[in-house]
Amino acid sequence: MKEIVVISGKGGTGKTSITASLAYLGGEDLIVADCDVDAADMHLLLSPDFGNPEEFYSGELAVINQDVCIQCGKCQEVCRFDAISVVNNQYFVDSLGCEGCGYCARVCPAEAITNERPGVGQVFVSNIRTGSAMVHARLNIGADNSGKLVAKVKKDAKSLAESKNKTAVLVDGSPGLGCPVVSSLSGANFVVLVTESTVSGIHDLKRVYELVEKFGIKAGCIINKADLNPGVTDKIKGFLDASGIVLLSEIPYNESFTKAMTNGKTIVEYDKELGAIISGSWEQIKELCEI
């Protein structure tokens, strides 16, 4: 069983649209995992039934019991996250700022602070319209630890793929370079980098590839909006060449991406020409992953 992760560094490159197309092409052979938990959009294209919701807990949150608090201010003094404020002489924890380190509770002389474990989101195992299943999540607003949630989504997708004897897990990875994307990449067999022909596209591609290189994962690249700026596209190709990244395809700037999305469809279903390009990439990915 192989794990294919699609990432982009930069948002808005068409990553989710392309991943959903690959999921459609892979059909029953794949388990899909949406690890872009911050902006999980894949459900808009694959119609999951939001089955088996499971509450996800991670990290802790300090809560001050006002009846017990003696207003000594020790908690505010030790908090490095400026998460404790004073309103009308009462101490409050700002739940969006609290990192759940528990330091305040440990130093509170009145034992007025408890650590709670709020649910930070839900994980779903859903049936999707490609005839397979998808593991996805909904992270609560401002919730911390999306890295841990990503790890949970991937772990559940993997065990589901193993139990159902699937050939691969297809992961829609997280944006950026921080903890969620590090979590998305761990354990991957192949990375599909989706970039676009813009100066930001190449900038973020180079940055995120440094991370991929650290993990030593084999990579291929899809250049979206490739005809937008031929000069930049050439630079991207030069970078791919020099880094040993396989160029999977060049997709022209095309409004079908949006039109397909607006119709709740994947691009391969909506646009024959673009569909053929993405199908070609999928065949290449399968070959490179030996699946």
Type of residue at 19: T
198 binding another protein? (CB under 8 A): yes
Q: Name the token pair of 287.
A: 């070959």
Give the C-alpha separation, 218 to 207, whole Å.
16
10 binding another protein? (CB under 8 A): yes
- Residue whose pair of structure tokens reads 């930070």 in the numeric block: 120
41 binding another protein? (CB under 8 A): yes
CB of 174 to another protein, least distance (A): 9
Which one of 158, 166, 225, 286 is in contact with another protein (CB under 8 A)?
Answer: 225
The residues pairing with 92 across neighbouring beta strands, listed in sequence order, are 85
252 binding another protein? (CB under 8 A): no
Let me know: does 247 contact 240? Beta carbons within 8 Å: yes
Give the C-alpha separation, 207 to 59, whole Å.
29
53 binding another protein? (CB under 8 A): no
Half-sphere exposure of 75 (CA within 13 A, CB side): 31
Q: Which is nearer to another protein, 206 or 218 (CB)?
A: 206
Q: Which is nearer to another protein, 147 or 288 (CB)?
A: 147
Which one of 258, 272, 273, 283 is in contact with another protein (CB under 8 A)?
Answer: 258
187 binding another protein? (CB under 8 A): no
211's CB contacts (< 8 A; 6+ apart) are 177, 181, 182, 185
147 binding another protein? (CB under 8 A): yes
59 binding another protein? (CB under 8 A): yes
81 binding another protein? (CB under 8 A): yes
75 binding another protein? (CB under 8 A): no
Output the CA torsion sign for 198, 203, 206, 208: negative
CB of 162 to another protein, least distance (A): 26
